[in-house]
Amino acid sequence: MSDGTQVSGSPVAVVDVLAPRQVLGHEVLVEGRIFDLVRDEVDLDHTVVHREYVDHPGAVAVIVLDEDDRVLLLKQYRHPVRRELWEPPAGLLDVAGEPAQVGAARELAEEADLVARTWHTLVDYYTTPGGNNEALRVFLARDLSPVPDDQRHVREDEERDIELRWVSLDDAAAAVLRGDVHNPSAVVGVLAAVTSRAGGWTSLRPADAPWPERRQQA
């Protein structure tokens, strides 16, 4: 029985492709501090539809591994879901023109008081493509050292109560599969790290690997 993955004996590549439809109209419904709620009028060739979505600058997350193959997770309150979630260090790409890895390094220093010498791109994904255009890149960071005491960031708001915990990568993956961990960057990043490790880390890409999905800021 054919599973649809081969044509004439050759594997068919599964690759997302850029295929924009014509936007006939664009309206900002709500202008926010970080992201906006917008409505587009879109020509789908056979019909015209209106689609509302969050216009988002994008974000980065960091799967941090120490020499004992432990991953760093942070417990942080997330108000929309009313829960404290275990997450990797992460943050918005809200500095115009900033390379993604530079933003990730800043978040690692601010949220975990750590500096990493070795950086790779681990995995890229869209967080909620049916409802917003947020593209997120997950880095793998290793070879760690602490931020000097006199250079540490003063954490505020939700970040003030962050709890840090080192967890074995296997235990973190098990927590994801049990349904105990729900943050998308933790789910995607931890499982990607386990998969990459099983393949000898050969899937890792350079930290500055092309990322065309990242929203271009005006």
Active site residues: 159
Strands (E) located in the chain: 6-7, 10-11, 22-30, 36-43, 48-55, 59-64, 70-78, 83-87, 90-92, 114-126, 135-146, 163-168, 205-206
Question: In this structure, which amino acid lies at residue 117?
Answer: R
Give whole-number Cα distances, 94 to 57, 102, 159, 177, 217, in Å: 6, 12, 17, 32, 9
Helix ranges, the chain (H): 100-112, 169-178, 184-198
Q: Angle 81-86-91 (CA atoms, 0-180°, nearest 5)?
A: 80
Identify any residues that bridge with 84 across adjacent strands, giving them in sequence order. 77
CA-based nearest residue to 84, from 182, 184, 191, 167? 182
Q: Are 5 and 12 in contact (CB under 8 A)?
A: yes
Tokens of 56: 């988002």
Give whole-number Cα distances, 165 to 74, 76, 105, 205, in Å: 6, 12, 19, 27
